[in-house]
Amino acid sequence: MSELLPVAVLGARGRMGAEAVAAVREAPDLELVAALGSSDPLDSLVAAGARVVVDLTVPEATYDNVVFAVRHRMHAVVGTTGWTPERLGKLGTVLAGAPATGVLIAPNFALGSVLATAFAATAARYFESVEIIELHHPDKIDAPSGTAVRTAQLIATAREAAGVPAAPDATRDAPDGARGAGIDGVPVHSVRLRGLTAHQEVLFGSPGEQLSLRHDSFDRASFMPGVLLGIRSVAQHPGLTVGLDGYLDLQAGTSS
């Protein structure tokens, strides 16, 4: 029988962390060796012999957690939001000193969401207008969601590469926030509503037609296959990967 892969979960008592702890415990090929909360020292990851660290904490903590993991040659699977281009750049420098170590930063682990974002990037060049509405539970501390930021960035990149002009918007007079947050030029509107989990709709418009790409996570169970895929695959992907799509062959629909 092959050895179990030793896994640690950071943020283990949070909404996502608790779900991830249960998923790792249930996986026959994984062993949960540490489940850390905000007051637990990171040194215990070393003592526990973790090979993969799953970070589901808060934007203020995630960078230091991942740098600690990389410096100790542990792979990291990260669902936490707050990864700015500056932080990603700094992490890249740290990773250059540990070339065999892999870090996956996944704004969304739900396969349907990953596909919806990829479809949005494909559609982006063909429509005159685009806006994103993301809808989440009201206990979420960040806005816009990491998924919406990533989707907006990919849409903006695709439109720029195709030479699509900025979407027309004749608004002259509006209170702050009325047109959402402009992420790389894409308006993103954030809804926080009790009863919701995690939802996103990308609206594309051209004269006489609209395309809506909507994804709904009704339960955090939707994220667990992606978390497990990340844990099992991260060692085969040294360096930094942003987006679970980096581990999927979306053309053929298989994992790599």
Ligand X SMILES: O=C(O)C1=N[C@H](C(=O)O)C[C@H](O)C1
Ligand Y SMILES: NC(=O)C1=CN([C@@H]2O[C@H](COP(=O)(O)OP(=O)(O)OC[C@H]3O[C@@H](n4cnc5c(N)ncnc54)[C@H](O)[C@@H]3O)[C@@H](O)[C@H]2O)C=CC1
87 binds ligand Y (CB under 6 A): no
Q: Residue 80 binds which one of ligand X, ligand Y, none, with CB within 5 to 8 A depending on kind? A: ligand Y
Reference 226, options 83, 80, 112, 64; nearest CA is 112
Instruction: Choose the contact partner of 127 out of ligand Y, ligand X, none; CB within 5 to 8 A by kind.
Output: none
CB 195 within 8 A of CB 167: no
17 touches ligand Y (CB under 6 A)? yes
C-alpha distance from residue 33 to each of 23, 44, 73, 119, 203 (Å)? 13, 10, 16, 37, 43
Long-range CB contacts for residues 194-197, cutoff 8 Å, separation at least 24: 194/137, 194/138, 195/137, 196/135, 196/136, 196/137, 197/136, 197/137
Token pair 């994220």 is at which residue? 223
Concerning whether 136 is annotated as a catalytic residue, the answer is yes
- The 169-208 contact track toward ligand X, x by CB under 6 A, reads -----------------------------x----------
Q: Which stretch binds ligand Y (CB under 6 A): 43-51, 75-83, 167-175, 207-215?
A: 75-83
Among 75, 136, 189, 215, the active-site one is: 136
Applying the rule CB under 6 A, the residues between 140 and 179 that interact with ligand Y are: 142, 146
**8-to-24, 204, 232 alpha-carbon distances in Å:** 9, 41, 13
From the list ligand X, ligand Y, none, which binds 136 (C-beta under 5 to 8 Å, kind-based)?
A: ligand X
Quote the least distance from Cβ 234 to ligand Y, whole Å: 14
Using CB under 6 A as the binding criterion, the count of chain residues that bind ligand X stands at: 9
> What is the rounded distance in angstroms from the CA atom of residue 223 to the CA atom of residue 217?
8
36 near ligand Y, rule: CB under 6 A: yes
Residue 204 binds which entry of ligand X, ligand Y, none, with Cβ cut-offs from 5 to 8 Å by kind? none
How much of the chain is in helix, strand and coil states, percent to nearest 5?
A: 40, 25, 35
Contact call for residue 146 and ligand X (CB under 6 A): yes
Q: How far apart are CA 212 and CA 121, in angstroms?
A: 13
**247 sits near ligand Y (criterion: CB under 6 A):** no
Nearest-CA neighbor of 168 among 117, 201, 206, 123? 206
Q: Mark 4-43 with x for binding to ligand X (rule: CB under 6 A) and - for no binding.
A: ----------------------------------------
Strands 254-255 and 248-249, bridge-based pairing: antiparallel
What residues act catalytically? 136, 140
**Contacting residues toward ligand Y, per CB under 6 A:** 10-11, 13-17, 36-38, 56-58, 61, 79-81, 106-109, 142, 146, 223
